[in-house]
């Protein structure tokens, strides 16, 4: 005992430690590298800006800290995965039942009853069912894990570094300077020496991953990855539902078992006998077939989803998506294309929209203007980005480019609109260039002209619009230079504000022909001194860029809204950009305003605005950090349209507890893991994200989520039907035993027969319900409320057990008594007959006609009763599967035979039933007797009753919504 | 970090949003929250309470009880009716099917608990019955030797053909008979076999049996009275007790 206590303590402290570590990780990282001066930084990391690390030191560091790779997440051992499949709620119930069977078998054996192996068979079957379905589930998981494994991109990435003063391409496992996967930003940020933001992730002067800083798991990205693997797995809604329903089943089983234990004791059975009755009832109540049904239904849907490019890693996640009420989507890469694209141009005093579609299928703008030609020339020349070689075959938008995001966008844009930029640049020989820096905020280059006779130099410049404007004295309108007066300045301002308001990054462009005399050929241009004209330039226009939304997203977002699902955007971007994208894809719908919008419109301070008037809300990371969880709750409640901007990965985790999360970056992985269902992008997603996610969209298409939601909702409805169907027959399986105990009739239904119903004949029909089409337009309904709309609710249990199940029991007993009576045993004689009937030594028991029966004759008669009862349940279950097709609308509206699988399942059920009854040898192996054909028809009226009764029920439910009928009988 | 769960319904504006989305939404108004009854008789499947007035819930609980009452009465009625109709189709004298009784069973144990008296009359109404006297079994009748020869190592085995209505044993009027033999290993141990009545035949006059109703048992007539029977006894007992026969 003491030792155990000690162990417990040790474990606890370990857990606490882990928790602490995790909490520590969730906190913002404390790095001041971006705040100190370059010199200090150089000192700290033994490097220099100019020459970089010495290769020996780099090797040393590499050895010390390990390669710049994430430690692969510790894979769950295969046997643990398999064991997990065997330890679900239902599985545990069945293990317990199997144990009970073994105990009952032991008791029987101990009492000298050496002939009865039923309990042993039952125990073995129960175990077999658990193991077989476990294998099935394991295989499913294994398969989807394989799909994911095949996705891992094994191509090592190269990086440009300064080592020993030389620029080298080195393998990225030694270095990576792309923040995109870390912060969700759409570009590797330009890293410069300014401290732009106190958050190390947002600031521009720090390049994570760099060998000079931290390596491998000690990088920020490494911390995030381990944060992700440290976050516990949340239970899926369906797992919660199944647990809930196992509780119900187990509770009812115990209730019935105990009641009849007491009854049996009261009647006068021996304690051991009553104990066996108790166990038998509990076992009879376990729905053996349900596990297989649920597993198969879920994997059918998973398969259907896989066809639509959603790979489900965890079977249960299939349903989770259906109950999703909020989708938190990462912006970059999920909602947007994750590439900067030129969106708008402003020249000739007009805003022109560029084509931002992924496949360049959109409308282009009027390119006839001279101004446009000048603007395109500046954009093409004043650009340092170049295409990687050997990419002629690829469409332009997909070609790889060396250069930063804006330049890439401009390069691709000019290549698309003008064409052959590289050649163009060669013709305009570059003389000098000044790269962009944050003090100047512009970039310029000086070129020779194409025309060899024209000896002027051309200066092209691009940069922050206001800085460009300062340097301009004229403006190009329709190819003509006009003086930059106040009017033009104002229209420039308007255009700039407009484009900026769209959340786009705006660049201004200008040029000037340098005076031939002042700057003759051979003039020495000095990029540091800038010994040339940089003012009184000619303004050409503005070009704005954005990471455009994917084409399919707005439609998908709309569908989600119709389905009552809130789409919340989470991004590390600037609030304005975030808001613009959100408005673009419909997350903030047309006409919705944020608190700030209302304040501006009404010209009142933000504080005076009633927060409830604002539908939309943009919250940035700083605000989120200061919010208590109640405040956050309140905000989420008040504003249906939410955008979280400038959030750090740690904060994504806070938001991540809302149901579904989509994302692609490593930074999203903790949230993906924490969410009820994490959805990762298959193409652009990082491995960490894919590992953490439950579902992967192979085509990166947000619209696939909508398909997933639809399938998830459908499977929830259909599982309900399947479960209702499966549960129903538990009652006609149980009542024979109860009557056997209380009325001492010969046993009407044996346990092998029960197993055949549960695991053979009824499996296919219950699975076929998974193919049922949706009853109504499920995508127009609200997501289910996990607290109210349970998978198995009281109404479902009561309706299945006490109504349909009761009818089935009556059908079984009618058939049982008919078969007994027609063979010579009248109902009243049967009551109380048990002791004599089961007396092995009594070879001449008289029936109602005075005929004498031997024990084996009686036994075969008992098997006949089993078969007759079996047939009754089968016939009623056919009616049952037909009524379960719909829950609300009439079966005829749904189409009685539309579900072909269901029809074939009924045929299969009948054929299997016939095979069991009439195959020679069955009586002695499985206790099935070839019964009289007439007995197949005795339960038919009860089947019709079930069908009619359910149609009446549905009619009442449809006619009187909200009435007691609806509440009690709609499941 | 506490998780935040937001019910979409609770965000009041979301509701408006849905209304705006058009009339295509087929959500049917349902009074939620009334799935649990605080009434003592309601079935406690789920925990949880609602704010609705208890009385209203009890009305619903009452209604559902009434519903079940009517439902079960109807089912029981239907069951009784089908039972009644089924029983009406049965013949009083002969069971509808005798699937299990094509071959009649045999009893091989003397029933000593039921002492039979050979006196008394036989009810011959409505069918004639032939009396089976114990004296027919002679040494094995239990009259002279209440131990049926077991004390003398000459055990009697009484073989009785179980009664089956309408059964006519034997072919072409030849009465069925029994011959007994020892198992191979017991050939030497078994003594002389004796049959009562002689030849080990079942007298055909006892067949067919017309059933309890046609041939009711007389008040003082014991067990086996109307069945045919015969007894076999051997001089020496076999190695094992006779039960193992």
| CA atoms of A933 and A913, how far apart (whole Å) | 12
A630: its two tokens? 């109640």
DSSP B177: B
Which residues in chain B touch residue A840, judged by CB atoms under 8 angstroms apart? none
Q: Give the model confidence (pLDDT) of A821-875 as tens digits.
A: 999 999 999 999 988 998 888 888 888 888 889 999 999 999 999 999 999 999 9
> Contact, A736 vs A749, CB < 8 A?
yes
- Which are the contacts of A231, defined by CB distance < 8 A and separation ≥ 6? A22, A653, A670, A673, A674
**A189: pLDDT strictly greater than 70:** no
Helix, coil or strand: residue A338: coil
CA distance B176 to chain A (A): 19
Contact flag A851-B87 (C-beta cutoff 8 Å): no
**Regarding predicted confidence, which is higher, A853 or A317?**
A853
Return mean pLDDT, chain A.
77
Cα atoms in the 13 Å half-sphere on the side-chain side of A971: 29
Instruction: Please provide the distance, in angstroms rounded to a whole number, between the alpha carbons at the two ends of chain A.
Output: 49
Establish if A658 touches chain B: CB-CB under 8 angstroms: yes
Cis peptide before B61 (omega within 30 of 0): no
- Which are the contacts of A534, defined by CB distance < 8 A and separation ≥ 6? A444, A459, A461, A471
Mean pLDDT within A669-694: 76
- CB burial of residue A112 (10 Å; 0-12, 13-18, 19+): exposed
Residues of A annotated catalytic, as ranges: 330
- Give the pLDDT of residue A428: 86
DSSP H helices, A27-88, are 38-45, 55-65, 78-85
- Give the pLDDT of residue A822: 92
Mean pLDDT within A562-590: 80
- Give the pLDDT of residue A114: 60
Contact flag B98-A843 (C-beta cutoff 8 Å): no
Q: Give the model confidence (pLDDT) of A951-967 as tens digits.
A: 999 999 999 888 888 88
CA distance B213 to chain A (A): 7
> Contact, B156 vs B148, CB < 8 A?
yes
Name the pairing type of β-strands A326-330 and A660-663: parallel
Q: How confident is the model at residue A787 (pLDDT cuts 50, 70, 90)?
A: confident
Contact flag A824-B28 (C-beta cutoff 8 Å): no
For B99, which residue in chain A has the nearest alpha carbon?
A823
Our measurement of the distance from residue A779's CA atom to the centroid of its chain's CA atoms, rounded to an integer in Å, reads: 17
Q: Which residue has the tokens 């000037």?
A: A512
- Give the pLDDT of residue A187: 36
Establish if A259 touches chain B: CB-CB under 8 angstroms: no
What percentage of residues in chain A have a pLDDT greater than 70? 79
For B97, which residue in chain A has the nearest alpha carbon?
A823
Name the pairing type of β-strands A480-483 and A537-546: unpaired
**How many C-beta atoms surround the C-beta of residue A934 within 10 A?**
13
CA distance A808 to chain B (A): 10
**A760: pLDDT strictly greater than 60:** yes
CA distance B112 to chain A (A): 14
**A538: pLDDT strictly greater than 60:** yes
> Is the sign of the CA dihedral B160, B165, B169, B174 positive or negative?
positive
- Give the pLDDT of residue A943: 95
| CA atoms of A123 and A126, how far apart (whole Å) | 5
> Contact, A126 vs A94, CB < 8 A?
yes
Q: Give the model confidence (pLDDT) of A158-170 as tens digits.
A: 444 445 545 444 4
Contact flag B83-A814 (C-beta cutoff 8 Å): yes
**Regarding predicted confidence, which is higher, A638 or A760?**
A760
Establish if A561 touches chain B: CB-CB under 8 angstroms: yes
Q: Give the model confidence (pLDDT) of B152-167 as tens digits.
A: 777 777 777 788 888 8
**Regarding predicted confidence, which is higher, A785 or B89?**
B89
Contact flag B212-A783 (C-beta cutoff 8 Å): no
Cα atoms in the 13 Å half-sphere on the side-chain side of B228: 23
- Give the pLDDT of residue A183: 38
- Give the pLDDT of residue A651: 53
Q: How confident is the model at residue A820 (pLDDT cuts 50, 70, 90)?
A: very high
- CB within 8 Å of chain B, chain A residues 156-185: none
Name the pairing type of β-strands A505-513 and A537-546: antiparallel
| CA atoms of B169 and B173, how far apart (whole Å) | 9
**Regarding predicted confidence, which is higher, A696 or A674?**
A696
Which residues in chain A touch residue B79, judged by CB atoms under 8 angstroms apart? 810, 813-814
> Contact, A691 vs A360, CB < 8 A?
no
For the ranges A112-126, A329-343, A429-443, A790-804, the maximum mean pLDDT occurs at A790-804
- Give the pLDDT of residue A225: 52
Q: How confident is the model at residue B70 (pLDDT cuts 50, 70, 90)?
A: very high
- Give the pLDDT of residue A58: 64
Mean pLDDT within A671-681: 77
Query: Residue A190's closest CA among A407, A341, A42?
Result: A407
Cis peptide before A418 (omega within 30 of 0): no
Mean pLDDT within A180-185: 38
Q: Give the model confidence (pLDDT) of A121-156 as tens digits.
A: 878 888 888 888 788 778 767 766 665 555 444 333
Please indicate, yes or no, whether the overall pTM of this predicted structure exceeds 0.80.
no
**How many C-beta atoms surround the C-beta of residue A7 within 10 A?**
10
Contact flag B96-A823 (C-beta cutoff 8 Å): yes
């Amino acid at each position: 005992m003491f030792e155990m206590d000690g162990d417990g303590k040790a474990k606890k402290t370990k857990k606490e430690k882990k928790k602490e570590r995790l909490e520590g990780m969730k906190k913002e990282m404390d790095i001041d590298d971006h705040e100190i001066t370059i010199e200090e930084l150089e000192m700290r990391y033994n490097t220099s800006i100019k020459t970089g690390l010495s290769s020996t030191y780099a090797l040393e560091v590499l050895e010390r800290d390990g390669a710049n790779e994430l430690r692969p997440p510790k894979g769950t051992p295969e046997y643990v995965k398999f064991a997990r499949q065997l330890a679900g709620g239902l599985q545990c119930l069945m293990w317990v039942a199997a144990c009970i069977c073994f105990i009952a078998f032991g008791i029987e054996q101990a009492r000298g009853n050496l002939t009865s192996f039923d309990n042993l068979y039952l125990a073995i079957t129960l175990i077999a069912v658990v193991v077989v379905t476990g294998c099935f589930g394991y295989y499913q998981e294994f398969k989807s894990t394989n799909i994911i494994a095949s996705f891992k991109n094994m191509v090592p990435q190269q990086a440009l570094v300064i080592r020993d003063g030389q620029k080298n391409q080195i393998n990225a496992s030694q270095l990576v300077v792309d923040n995109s996967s870390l912060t969700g930003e759409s570009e590797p940020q330009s890293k410069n020496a300014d401290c732009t933001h106190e958050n190390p992730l947002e600031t521009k002067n720090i390049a994570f991953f760099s060998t000079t800083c931290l390596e491998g798991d000690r990088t920020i990205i490494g911390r995030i990855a381990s944060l992700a693997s440290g976050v516990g797995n949340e239970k899926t809604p369906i797992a919660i539902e199944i647990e809930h329903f196992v509780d119900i089943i187990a509770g009812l089983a115990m209730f019935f078992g105990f009641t009849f234990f007491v009854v049996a004791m009261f009647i006068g059975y021996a304690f051991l006998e009553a104990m066996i009755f108790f166990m038998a009832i509990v076992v009879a109540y376990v729905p053996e077939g349900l596990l297989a049904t649920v597993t198969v239904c879920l994997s059918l849907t998973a398969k259907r989803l896989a066809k639509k490019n959603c790979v489900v890693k965890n079977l249960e996640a299939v349903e989770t998506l259906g109950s999703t009420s909020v989708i938190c989507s990462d912006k970059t890469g999920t909602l947007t294309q994750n590439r900067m694209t030129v969106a708008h141009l402003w020249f000739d005093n007009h805003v022109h929209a560029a084509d931002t579609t992924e496949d360049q299928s959109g409308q282009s703008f009027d390119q006839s203007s001279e101004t446009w030609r000048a603007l395109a020339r500046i954009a093409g020349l004043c650009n340092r980005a170049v295409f990687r070689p050997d990419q002629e075959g690829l469409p332009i938008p997909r070609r790889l480019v060396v250069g930063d995001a804006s330049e890439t966008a401009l390069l691709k844009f000019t290549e698309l609109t003008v064409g052959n930029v590289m050649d163009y640049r060669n013709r305009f020989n570059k003389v000098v260039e000044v790269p962009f820096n944050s003090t100047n905020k512009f970039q310029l280059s000086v070129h020779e002209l194409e025309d060899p006779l024209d000896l002027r130099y051309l200066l092209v410049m691009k940069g922050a619009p206001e800085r460009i404007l300062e340097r301009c004295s004229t403006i190009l309108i329709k190819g003509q230079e006009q003086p930059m007066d106040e009017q033009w300045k104002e229209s420039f301002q308007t255009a700039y504000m407009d484009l900026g308001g769209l959340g786009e990054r705006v660049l201004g462009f200008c040029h000037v022909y340098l005076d031939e005399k002042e700057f003759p050929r051979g003039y020495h241009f000095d990029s540091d001194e800038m010994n040339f004209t940089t003012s009184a330039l000619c303004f050409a226009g503005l070009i704005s860029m954005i990471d455009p939304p994917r084409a399919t997203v707005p439609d998908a977002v709309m569908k989600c809204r119709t389905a009552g699902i809130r789409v919340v955007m989470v991004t590390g971007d600037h609030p304005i950009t975030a808001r613009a994208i959100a408005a673009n894809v419909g997350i903030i719908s047309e006409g919705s305003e944020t608190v700030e919008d209302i304040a501006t419109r009404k010209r009142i301070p933000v504080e005076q605005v009633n927060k409830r008037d604002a539908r939309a809300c943009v919250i940035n990371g700083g605000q989120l950090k200061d919010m208590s969880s109640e405040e956050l709750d309140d905000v989420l409640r008040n504003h249906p349209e939410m955008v979280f901007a400038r959030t750090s990965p740690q904060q994504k985790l806070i938001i991540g507890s809302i149901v579904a999360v989509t994302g692609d970056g490593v930074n999203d992985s903790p949230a993906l893991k924490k969410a009820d269902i994490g959805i990762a992008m298959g193409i652009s997603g990082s491995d960490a994200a894919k590992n953490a996610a439950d579902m992967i969209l192979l085509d990166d298409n947000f619209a696939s989520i909508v398909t997933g939601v639809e399938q998830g909702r459908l499977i929830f409805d259909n599982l309900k039907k399947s479960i209702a169907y499966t549960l129903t027959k538990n009652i006609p399986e149980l009542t024979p035993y109860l009557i056997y105990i209380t009325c001492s009739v010969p046993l009407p239904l044996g346990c092998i027969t029960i197993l055949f119903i549960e695991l053979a004949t009824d499996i296919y029909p219950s699975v076929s319900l998974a193919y049922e089409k949706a009853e109504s337009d499920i995508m127009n309904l609200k997501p289910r409320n996990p607290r109210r709309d349970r998978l198995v609710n009281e109404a479902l249990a009561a309706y299945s057990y006490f109504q349909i199940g009761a009818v089935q029991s009556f059908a079984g007993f009618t058939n049982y008594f008919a078969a007994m009576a027609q063979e010579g045993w009248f109902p009243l004689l049967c009551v109380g007959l048990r002791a004599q009937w089961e007396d092995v030594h009594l070879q001449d028991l008289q029936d109602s006609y005075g005929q004498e029966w031997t024990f084996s004759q009686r036994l075969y008669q008992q098997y006949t009763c089993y078969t007759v009862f079996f047939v009754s349940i089968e016939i009623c279950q056919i009616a049952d599967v037909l009524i379960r097709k719909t829950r609300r609308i009439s079966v005829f509206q749904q189409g009685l035979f539309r579900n072909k699988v269901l029809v074939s399942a009924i045929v299969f059920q009948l054929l299997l039933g016939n095979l069991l009854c009439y195959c020679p040898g069955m009586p002695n192996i499985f206790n099935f007797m070839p019964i009289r054909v007439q007995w197949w028809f005795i339960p038919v009226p009860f089947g019709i009753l079930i069908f009619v009764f359910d149609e009446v029920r549905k009619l009442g439910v449809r006619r009187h919504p909200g009435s007691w009928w609806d509440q009690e009988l709609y499941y | 970090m506490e998780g935040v769960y937001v019910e979409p319904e609770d965000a009041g504006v979301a509701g408006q949003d849905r209304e705006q989305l058009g009339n295509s939404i087929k959500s049917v108004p349902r009074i939620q929250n009334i799935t649990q009854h605080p009434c003592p008789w309601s079935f406690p499947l789920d925990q949880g309470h609602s704010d609705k007035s208890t009385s209203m819930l009890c009305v619903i609980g009452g209604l559902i009880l009434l519903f079940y009452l009517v439902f079960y009465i109807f089912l029981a009625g239907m069951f009784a009716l089908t039972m009644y109709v089924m029983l009406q189709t049965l013949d009083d004298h002969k069971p509808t099917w005798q699937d299990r009784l094509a071959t009649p069973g045999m009893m091989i144990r003397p029933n000593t608990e039921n002492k039979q008296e050979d006196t008394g009359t036989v009810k011959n109404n409505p069918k004639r019955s032939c009396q089976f006297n114990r004296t027919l079994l002679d040494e094995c009748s239990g009259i002279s030797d209440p131990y049926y020869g077991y004390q003398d190592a000459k055990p009697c085995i009484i073989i009785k053909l179980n009664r089956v209505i309408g059964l006519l044993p034997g072919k072409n009027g030849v009465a069925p008979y029994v011959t007994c033999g020892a198992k191979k290993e017991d050939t030497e141990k078994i003594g002389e076999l004796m049959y009562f009545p002689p030849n080990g035949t079942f007298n055909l006059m006892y067949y067919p049996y017309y059933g309890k109703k046609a041939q009711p048992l007389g008040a003082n007539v014991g067990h086996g009275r109307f069945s045919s029977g015969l007894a076999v006894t051997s001089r020496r007992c076999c190695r094992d007790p006779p039960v193992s026969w």
